[in-house]
Amino acid sequence: MEKFQYDYPHPALTVDCVTFGFDGGEMKILLVKRGIDPFLEKWALPGGFVNIDEDLESCASRVLEKECGIKEVYQEQLYTFGKVGRDPRERVVSVSYMALVRTDDYALLVGNLELSVQWFPISEVKDLAFDHEEILKVALKRLRGKIRYQPVGFELLNEKFTMPELQTLYETILGKSLDRRNFYKKILATELLIKTNEKKSGGAHKAANYYQFDHNKYQELTESGINLEF
Amino acid sequence: MEKFQYDYPHPALTVDCVTFGFDGGEMKILLVKRGIDPFLEKWALPGGFVNIDEDLESCASRVLEKECGIKEVYQEQLYTFGKVGRDPRERVVSVSYMALVRTDDYALLVGNLELSVQWFPISEVKDLAFDHEEILKVALKRLRGKIRYQPVGFELLNEKFTMPELQTLYETILGKSLDRRNFYKKILATELLIKTNEKKSGGAHKAANYYQFDHNKYQELTESGINLEF
């Protein structure tokens, strides 16, 4: 087998992908069950070694497609994890990427080296391979920080949605219940929403109004930032 | 010479340090003049290869100390730059770190492999080695974003400071002039400042009041976030 030689030791470089999925009710995380050592049969974030002629973003796209069947997702760089000893094989530094999608926009496909691929409710995640629980923790913190100063929901909700649906999205990201009145007041104050004439029918409760995002305002607040503290 | 062998090609890993320095008037950036190829005699961000048994943060600390004589600075991870071809020697992926200090808190010391080390006004930076202008651009964007939703200035100003001094700090970070009245109004509305009984004497203008930060409020807003749009 050909060997690659260097004058001084080189670390290996991987990419790990944190993909949050919203299914209308709950925030989930995409995990693969490892089919190879180390951590055989453990659940892990999808990840892989960066090819020597491959950009980091391309590697992140390749990993999600090859291991999970998920294509064309915008992934943003999250953080680089490089602690000595985080991988039992050799020194491995991992650049993590993060995405937020609707789970029902994608059909999952298991890769050749994985035993399984699945969306997990975040609250049920435990005992992941490597330092992936730490990576997930950093990603959740980033996501929770982001929704305080950027609008969220445009790609995650239907074009028309009710206030309870929007509140559910915020609650599942923040991992806590929010007071309904306070939430409505703060969200309406941002002027992000346009009330439509339609109402959601059915159910035991009073019919809820459908809203949609004001696209210009959404864009404007994405750039200028908001401050939503719940 | 000993060679290090791997079954597949490995990238090299470096750390580059973006150190912003405030001198009371202007925002500066710390650069070194390279004493080795490639980019011999070009100005660059301080940087170096990560040792195989060294954590990324330790490498960032070592680089600043060895190349610039600067010790014990809190550096926060900024972004990882990994584009194929960004280094003419081999595939090199660089994890960048960012810090914000007072220039007069440090005496600069040139490292063995550098020809010079110097604070440069950001507006005068040009023609840097590698993709360091891009790294600097990303760092400036991050810094400008941060001061919109986090208090800034505690480590950069004297314990007591005037409003014009605080405004100068914001202006040099943002790279633009701010309207005095509007700035005062927004800063005072954050309740970050406590007015002291002292005034700055001398100068052609009316004596300016000294302020200091309300430490509890500063801490609280660092955690909860603010929204200062200028």
CATH of the domain at B203: 1.10.10.10
Please name the helix (run of DSSP H) or strand (run of DSSP E) that holds residue A30, with its range, or none.
Answer: strand A27-34
Q: Is the minimum CB–CB distance between A102 and chain B shorter than 8 Å?
A: no
Domain with residue B77: its CATH number is: 3.90.79.10
Distances from the Cα of A155 to the Cαs of A74, A160, A209, B33, B108, in angstroms?
Answer: 11, 12, 20, 46, 49
Helix (H, G, I), strand (E, B) or coil at B227: coil
Alpha-carbon distance of A163 to B191, in angstroms, equals 33
**Domain coverage including residue B214:** 150-224
Q: Identify the band that residue B2 occupies on the pLDDT scale cut at 50, 70 and 90.
A: confident
Q: Identify the band that residue B155 occupies on the pLDDT scale cut at 50, 70 and 90.
A: confident
- Chain B contacts of A60, Cβ < 8 Å? none
Assign residue A175 a region: left if phi > 0, alpha if psi is -120 to 50, beta otherwise? left
Q: What residue in A sits closest to B1 (Cα-Cα)? A: A7
State the smallest CA–CA distance between residue B208 and chain A in angstroms: 31
149-208 in chain B: CB under 8 A from chain A: 149
Helix (H, G, I), strand (E, B) or coil at B31: strand
Contact B146, B152 (CB under 8 A): yes
Q: Retrieve residue B28's tokens.
A: 């500066």
Question: Inter-chain contact A55–B83, Cβ cutoff 8 Å?
Answer: yes
Q: Is the minimum CB–CB distance between B107 and chain A shorter than 8 Å?
A: no
pLDDT of B227 reads 80
State the smallest CA–CA distance between residue B83 and chain A in angstroms: 5
Contact B141, B133 (CB under 8 A): no
Residues A92 and A154 occupy one common structural domain: no
* pLDDT at B13 exceeding the cut of 90: yes
Alpha-carbon distance of B155 to B158, in angstroms, equals 8
Q: DSSP for A73-121? A: ---EEEEEE--TTSSSSS-EEEEEEEEEEEGGG------TTEEEEEEEE
Q: Identify the band that residue B203 occupies on the pLDDT scale cut at 50, 70 and 90.
A: low
- Give, as one character, the DSSP assignment of residue B112: T
Positions in chain A whose pLDDT score sits under 70:
1, 203-204
Alpha-carbon distance of B190 to B151, in angstroms, equals 9
Each residue of A82-97: pLDDT tens digit?
A: 999 999 999 999 999 9
pTM of the entire structure?
0.94
- Chain B contacts of A6, Cβ < 8 Å? 3-4, 6, 10, 12
ipTM for the predicted complex:
0.93
Residues B17 and B130 occupy one common structural domain: yes
Residues B16 and B58 occupy one common structural domain: yes
Q: What residue in A sits closest to B86 (Cα-Cα)? A: A55
Q: Which one of A4, A49, A53 has the shortest CB-CB distance to B84?
A: A53
B10 Cβ contact list (under 8 Å, min separation 6): A4, A6, A10, A11, A12, A13, A52
Contact B44, B67 (CB under 8 A): no
Question: Inter-chain contact B225–A149, Cβ cutoff 8 Å?
Answer: yes
Contact B74, B20 (CB under 8 A): no
Contact A7, A25 (CB under 8 A): no
Q: What residue in B sits closest to A222 (Cα-Cα)? A: B145
- From B148, B170, B188, give the residue that closes a domain: B148
- Chain A contacts of B91, Cβ < 8 Å? 52-53
Q: Is the minimum CB–CB distance between B122 and chain A shorter than 8 Å?
A: no
Residues A33 and A45 occupy one common structural domain: yes
Residue for token pair 């929010």: A178
Residues A138 and A171 occupy one common structural domain: no
Q: Which one of A7, A80, A83 has the shortest CB-CB distance to B1?
A: A7
pLDDT of B1 reads 62
Helix (H, G, I), strand (E, B) or coil at A59: helix
Q: Is the minimum CB–CB distance between A225 and chain B shorter than 8 Å?
A: yes
Determine how β-strand B47-49 pairs with β-strand A43-44: unpaired
Number of A/B CB contacts below 8 angstroms equals: 109
A148 Cβ contact list (under 8 Å, min separation 6): A226, A227, A228, A229, B149, B225
Query: Residue A106 falls within a domain, yes or no?
Result: yes
Domain count, chain B: 2
* Beta pairing partners, B199: B209
Alpha-carbon distance of A154 to A159, in angstroms, equals 8
Instruction: Using only the alpha carbons of chain A, give its radius of gyration.
Output: 20
Each residue of B44-101: pLDDT tens digit?
A: 999 999 999 999 999 999 999 999 999 999 999 999 999 999 999 999 999 999 999 9
Residues A101 and A202 occupy one common structural domain: no
Q: Is the minimum CB–CB distance between A11 and chain B shorter than 8 Å?
A: yes
Residues B26 and B117 occupy one common structural domain: yes
- From B104, B119, B148, give the residue that closes a domain: B148
Q: Is the minimum CB–CB distance between B89 and chain A shorter than 8 Å?
A: no
Q: Retrieve residue B192's tokens.
A: 């970050």
Contact A213, A154 (CB under 8 A): yes
Residues B129 and B218 occupy one common structural domain: no
Please name the helix (run of DSSP H) or strand (run of DSSP E) that holds residue A48, with its range, or none.
Answer: strand A47-49
Query: Residue A6 falls within a domain, yes or no?
Result: no
Q: Mean per-residue pLDDT for B150-179?
A: 93
Residues B138 and B28 occupy one common structural domain: yes
* Beta pairing partners, B49: B14
Please name the helix (run of DSSP H) or strand (run of DSSP E) that holds residue B28, with its range, or none.
Answer: strand B27-34
Residues A103 and A157 occupy one common structural domain: no
Please name the helix (run of DSSP H) or strand (run of DSSP E) that holds residue B121, with its range, or none.
Answer: strand B114-121
State the smallest CA–CA distance between residue A46 and chain B in angstroms: 19
Question: Inter-chain contact A7–B3, Cβ cutoff 8 Å?
Answer: yes
- From B96, B116, B148, give the residue that closes a domain: B148
Q: Which one of A4, A79, A229 has the shortest CB-CB distance to B10?
A: A4
